[in-house]
Chains A and B, each alone.
Chain A
Amino acid sequence: MNKPLKNESLQTEITNISRRNLLKGFALTGFVLAVGMPFAGFAEDEETPKYGRDAMPNGWVDNPLVFVAIAEDGTVTIVCHRAEMGQGVRTSLPMVVADELEADWDRVKVIQAPGDEERYGNQDTDGSRSVRHFFMPMRNVGAAARMMLEAAAAAHWGVGVDEVFAENHQIKHQSSGKTIGYGELAKAAAALDVPEREKLQLKPADKFRYIGKQSTKLIDGEDIVTGKAIYGIDVQVDGMVHAVIARPPVYGGKVKSFDDSETMKVPGVIKVVTLEGSPPPAVFNPLGGIAVIAANTWAAMQGREKLKIEWEHGENASYNTDEYRQQMLKSASSSGGKVLRSSGDVSKALETADKTFKADYYIPHLSQAPMEPPVATARIQNGKCEVWAPTQAPQASKDTVAKWLDISSDDVTVHVTLLGGGFGRKSKPDYLVEAALLSKAMDGRAVQVTWSREDDLHNGYLHTVSIEHLEAAVNADGKTTGWLHRTVAPSISSTFDASSVHQMPIELGMGVMNIPFAIDNIQLENPAAKAHTRIGWFRSVANIPRAFAIQSFIAEMADELGQDHKAFLLDLIGPARKIDPVELKDEWNYGESPEEYPLDTGRLRRVVEAVCEKANWGRDLPAGRGLGLATHYSFVTYTAAIVEVEVSEDGDLTIPRIDIAVDCGPQVNPERIRSQMEGACIMGISLAMVGEISFKDGAVQQDNFDSYQVSRMNESPREVHVHLLPAEDFNTPLGGVGEPGLPPIAPALCNAIFAATGKRIRDLPIRYQLES
């Protein structure tokens, strides 16, 4: 099983992660990574419905020979197959392996897997599911490797395997107290059979060394702060040249004619290449345009400025977001859209209500704007293409590049670097295809294509634009009897099918279908909305507008009814109960089993109660200050936030504090959960305060961080307090972490602004709305 691995191929895998690793490498004897054979950890069975990790394309793998290598010097190398973009997965998943393996974290190295799902299992790093889906497979990996080391030690000493145990990078013999290190055992252990999954002895939770603790150091921390960490933009390949591309400013547009005579005079410019685009749907295809290839990025940018291009904009040149907003409002104002769910009789409830409520909430397009813009480097040699890139989707990258080069997917290698932020943008490999096509145009020479910030904002896969229309009926007892929700937004599905005007189950399962309220009459509708730009995933996706609308609306209702917001919210949620997502017609349920992951209103109530207690809800505040509450269920995790604001008479807003309570089930790496929640609070404030991409005549109006603003330190909350609510044990189902922190922040902020000023914000961003 253990064919020796060729030095070069392993080195290539390491190259782009850190120079330190590149220089050191590691000894390739001992317990080595197997090559060449897939180890599917799950049964391919078309009959029974699959959920969670089993339902992901290419499933999961838990073979230690795929994920662990131990050198004779004792260095344990663990493969991380999911992409690192700040969520800490290169620490969290290897840490799980190291824990079960009883490895000393200081002697662990992590290498990044290239795109190869047949070998590693699913690698799509999105949906807040890396730890959720790979916690158990990675425990199996570590436990299996540990048991192989124990068996090797027992054989070495000629004692029974039950007489030895692993502890902190060595095997101990119980009675004699003698020890032997992992490095010494590595070779013998590797020759043993991998234990069967059913026979694996997993550690009891009270023996965890790293899982659930706060103490594990970030694997890339030191490299990051010393500038040694290698992101996509830092890849350097021999003979590499640099490219930037002038892409069509309007979605679906193309080059009519161009003149590159001035471009070619710019010192350093090597070549100008026309790239064919493809008509909508965008899928993961490059947009086409005119590429300028030069000796360095700056020369390429200078050359691009000198291009004279005449564009044929196509039909989306009519896209103006101001007008589009009015169209959406009109669609939202009357029934006739697709009915998603209807229980009871909402019209009657509204007609007979003592009090009715109605509001529209607007969120504009947003750009993920990761600090590292899209960038990729490609080289083609002997008919094989290698790409180095920060990608959330290594396998889709590989397949899409292969399709565009018209070669086999097996002839494409995608090396995954660190991502300088992803937030969903880097799930789409269009920029890798560009690099590959340009390398082809340069006869295989390595080409790095860099997106400027302007490119990133002008030609993104944006968060949708949305109107959420809500109506509610309340009877004379103050009980909510009716709930009408019309959600209007171009769907991500339009990126894959240009004719699509309705939202997918995935989007509807983000706070439309799966509302947890105890209301008798509910009607949910989705009027049509056509996309005029590439719509993509943005961290938390459709949960952002839904949480904003619903949690603002409930606060508005409570205020109007003269009720305490917290009490009213809990009343609406109703008693603690587990709701079957199937009953809610939520076809998605974040891909999880409805039995294992019901919508648990007890857990939702608990995060609300917890955050109110921690932030001291109801306390007296001076004039101009206010607290705002919001809760949301997303990615099978429960969160609630309280934002405290201070608004001056001039409308200047400061945020002294945010509290966020989180129930994500068992906490594998609590330290990184905290950091994800802190970051989500800042990003939530950012999009609510200043986030907006608008279109005029089909083109994005924002160019850079001056017009597309994101929050800076002085605009951010001075304090963020994260309250992690414990799970019963590590056998309860895990929730997501990367995304669920974001949705409650915007509504909590706007509810706080209302509490402080009496001004209700229904349109984001807030920007100048507080100025009187």
Chain B
Amino acid sequence: MVGASLAGLLTARALRGQGFQERIVVVGAERHRPYDRPPLSKDFLKGAIGEADLALEAEGEEPGIEWRLGVAATALDAPARKITLGDGTTLTADGIVIATGAAARRLPGTGGLAGVHTLRTLDDARALRADLERAGRIVVIGGGFIGAEVAATARELGRDVTLVESGPAPLAGVLGPAMAHALAGLHERRGVRLITGAHVTEVTGTGRADGVRLADGSHLPADVVVAGIGATPCTGWLAGSGVELGDGVLCDEGGGTSVPGIVAVGDCAAWYEPALGRHHRIEHWTGARQRAAVAAATLLSGGTARPEPARPPYFWSDQYDVKIQFIGHAGDADTVTVEEGDPATHSFLAVYRRGERPVAVLGVNQVRLFTRWRRHLETTPAHTG
């Protein structure tokens, strides 16, 4: 098992649950045992919860895993199923699970600058938390989940926050422009300065960042700069391995890679989705969770297990005191209608439809109603085309 985060842990558990009794070795590039990443941009960053609260393993849990932590896999010889690790040692296995996740994209040209952060790992969050303590002005680049959540958290900590987004509104890519606009007011009402349609040309400063320059020439002073500009799958170590790669490790609809005996799961894996007719990399927590059992079954059966139809992706985001929940693919919809509540009050539910058929649902502080819709979408089979 290469990768010691959520997908790796859950796949190991699923292998045990499905009766696998042989040796399981889990290799992790980070030195930490598996931990929960979503709180890193929210409660952990805010200081509301501590590191012990992030642990994914229950106390006393013993699934019989040998951990090799703090050492990354550097190469794979797929036909021989041999993995080379950063310390020069090798591991040979009957089955391999690739669960190396994704890495935060960094702003080009900021390598030597202090005060410039990305947020993906526990170590990232520790560093950002420490820097936020002494910072007054924060500029967040990118209005995706990480960016929007960090902006919200920093604002709740009383910092002066500017959120720079290249699109028309934060989260426009996943929610579609109409609903993203409806939610953009959330940031402004809480006192975050929101700049949309803007491109960053440079992080200024010598030794330490002191601001951000935009394409229109304006300069935003900052003590801390956070880049939430997406993540790229950690598949560099697989180059030349014989495992087929695209945007991530290309897999069939059961997680099987192009090489028998090797499966991939989690943020690094692009599973074939029949409903979409293409490979699709899901970077959400629930994707890793739902697919771990499928990947384990594929590995143990040698690829003959028939996976259940994939469930539509579900994700959530907490910003200020607002719970945002979303399921489905907004891009498939031709209409979106608010069916409950009012976007102006930040308590509403919107249904995205293609023709008559619901393809996605957005809930904002509508937990109970959203649960019903989520079940409806999960239990209604997706149609092709």
Do the two shown chains form a genuine complex with each other?
A: no
Which B positions have Cβ atoms within 8 angstroms of A? none
